């Protein structure tokens, strides 16, 4: 089955989207398009080719990660806030869960984050997991815990780069 991930636009049909977390469902239906249009956060939707029905989505925005909330902060740049992206939401339609669509969306998140980090300064990608199962999903994707909250997670851009960027001949991903 062929899928397409693209920025949300008015032709995308969100009416039938349901998921286990009602706030994620409500956000998609009520705010995702407007927030994207107003640059408050960019929402990308997953559809099947030749269909406008939304099967999943994620939203990213700019973020500042507190250096004090990071583990091993003595190894980090000496800025109070580290430039970051926030994965604000990620959801898959309830009837399509456990079929790899969340991993597919995460792969796109990582590709977009890496591309952004190569255009502007971005040190990490952060997410606030909604619950323990969501945390397990993100941890399996390579995220680690911030020190301030066990559901507040991050992955450094260097880790994302190793996953999405082809290795250069000298072994670096720069």
Number of domains forming the structure of the chain: 1
The verdict on residue 174 lying in a domain is no
Among 15, 92, 105, 23, smallest CA distance to 52 is for 15
For residue 13, the domain's CATH number is 3.40.630.30
The verdict on residue 173 lying in a domain is no
pLDDT for the residue numbered 4: 95
Spell out the residues 6+ positions from residue 147 whose beta carbon is closer than 8 angstroms to its own. Answer: 68, 69, 70, 71
Among 150, 15, 23, 163, smallest CA distance to 88 is for 23
The verdict on residue 147 lying in a domain is yes
Please give the Cα distance from 151 to 140 (Å, whole number): 14
- Domain carrying residue 56: 3-164
- Asked whether the whole model's pTM tops 0.85, one would answer yes
pLDDT for the residue numbered 77: 63
The verdict on residue 62 lying in a domain is yes
The verdict on residue 171 lying in a domain is no
Please give the Cα distance from 74 to 33 (Å, whole number): 40
pLDDT top residue among 167 and 139: 139
Reported as a single tens digit per residue, the pLDDT across 3-14 is 999 999 999 999
The verdict on residue 130 lying in a domain is yes
Reported as a single tens digit per residue, the pLDDT across 121-132 is 999 999 999 999
The verdict on residue 16 lying in a domain is yes
């Amino acid at each position: 089955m062929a899928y397409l991930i693209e920025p949300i636009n008015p032709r995308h049909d969100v009416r039938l989207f349901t998921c286990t977390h009602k706030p994620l469902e409500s956000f998609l239906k009520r705010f995702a398009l407007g927030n994207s249009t107003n640059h408050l956060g960019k929402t990308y939707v997953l559809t099947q080719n030749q269909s406008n029905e939304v099967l999943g989505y994620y939203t990213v925005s700019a973020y500042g990660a507190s250096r004090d909330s990071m583990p091993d902060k003595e190894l980090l740049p000496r800025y109070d806030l580290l430039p970051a992206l926030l994965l604000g939401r990620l959801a898959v339609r309830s009837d399509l869960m456990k079929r790899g669509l969340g991993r597919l969306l995460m792969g796109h998140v990582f590709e977009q984050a890496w591309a952004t980090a190569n255009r502007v300064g971005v040190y990490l990608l952060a997410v606030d997991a909604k619950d323990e199962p969501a945390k397990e999903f993100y941890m399996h994707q390579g995220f680690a815990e911030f020190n301030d909250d066990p559901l507040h997670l991050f992955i450094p851009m260097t880790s994302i780069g190793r996953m999405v960027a082809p290795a250069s001949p000298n072994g670096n991903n720069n």
